[in-house]
Amino acid sequence: MTMNDQPNRPHQPYDGYAPYGQQPQAWPGQGHQGYEDPQAAQQYTQQWQGQTWETQNHQPVPAQAPDPETAILTPQSPPRRPPAPAGADAAGTGYGPATVGGNTRVTDAQRARAEGRSPVIEPGMQPAALTALLGLLLAGAAAVGTYALLVPLVVLQAATAAGWFRLNGMWPARQGIALGFAGALAADAALLVSGRSPAAILGTIGVWVLLALVLQLRSHADPDERMYGLMATVAASALAIVAGGYLAAAADAVTVGAVAVAAAVLARALPLPTPASVVVSLLAAAGAGIVAGPVTGLGTSGALLGAGAAACALIGHRVASYDYPSRFVHFTAGVALPLAAAAPAVYVLGRALA
């Protein structure tokens, strides 16, 4: 009797083993000597007419000790956990909620915007005091001579290059910092060789832009990353080179402008509302220019030079405060950018008011 003659019996897959206590039976057409007739074997081929084995419809096997002889072991997948709520880990890990594509790092600036807070953190009094100290060193060194001015100027240029990269979230970025600082040194050397001509600053900026472009084209990073690195390198180099404008400006203008920037930054760090703080800073810079003007020979026009230098310095101060900077940013870019941004105003106003 074949399997087609038994419609009421459930079909079981043949596992190749006979039940316990029974001897395996030979198929019809198979002799006692192990010889198998091909035609007879084809005649008695099994025909399956039941439902197929659907693995997806089986229920999970209960967690119990299986029989080592009869049980079928199936792998159990871990239960899925529901996604975390939106603010579950906001205070702990610093990561955002679970998403299908994976968790992404939430920066301090993004969290501040999400919470309705400003992403701007001003450097504060300690960086302002360092800026004032560096400004007074520039003012005193300019009164001594050109080569004395180089010492605080080099410090200013190094802090500008390093702080700009960290302000843009690129760290350590040693090659970019070294390239920007090297451009500043090249500009200083060109200024000394050319008799402090401002054309040396413009020429050095042009050469360093081409050099940064060539170096980024040789990089194996992604195109977006290379473009971001190029912009950061060019900006850091340009700011560090522009700070050399103190070397190109007249000594009296450097003295008045550096003192005015020192007064403006200290006044800006006072705990006042932002509009009032800006007005107080400009007035403090103008007052410092009035005091330093007669000493240097600029007279009352030192007030205009001091106010102009302070306006540029406040722009640099604002840039160093943006996007939740760290303490390293505050003590590099926060110290250097106000003085570096004021260098062009010191040069231009110094020549116009001389």
Cis ω before 223 (30° cut-off from 0) = no
Cis ω before 66 (30° cut-off from 0) = no
* Residue-level pLDDT at 85: 47
pLDDT higher than 70, residue 185: yes
Query: Greater confidence, 85 or 157?
Result: 157
Q: How confident is the model at residue 9 (pLDDT cuts 50, 70, 90)?
A: very low
- When pLDDT is averaged across residues 88-103 and rounded to a whole number, the result is 47
Q: How confident is the model at residue 42 (pLDDT cuts 50, 70, 90)?
A: low
DSSP codes, 305-319: HHHHHHHHHHHHHHH
Query: Greater confidence, 131 or 97?
Result: 131
Query: Greater confidence, 169 or 273?
Result: 273
Q: How confident is the model at residue 15 (pLDDT cuts 50, 70, 90)?
A: very low
3-state DSSP assignment of residue 105? strand
pLDDT tens string 55-93? 444 455 555 555 555 444 444 545 444 464 444 444 444
DSSP codes, 210-225: HHHHHHHHT--S-HHH
pLDDT higher than 90, residue 95: no
Closest to 212 in 3D by CA, of 183, 245, 250: 183
pLDDT tens string 243-282? 999 999 999 999 999 999 999 999 999 999 999 999 999 9
**How many whole angstroms separate alpha carbon 7 and alpha carbon 21?**
26
Residues 6+ apart with CB under 8 A from 340: 156, 157, 160, 239, 240, 242, 243, 316
Quick one: how many helices (H) and strands (E) in the chain?
A: 13, 0
Eight-class DSSP state of 86: T
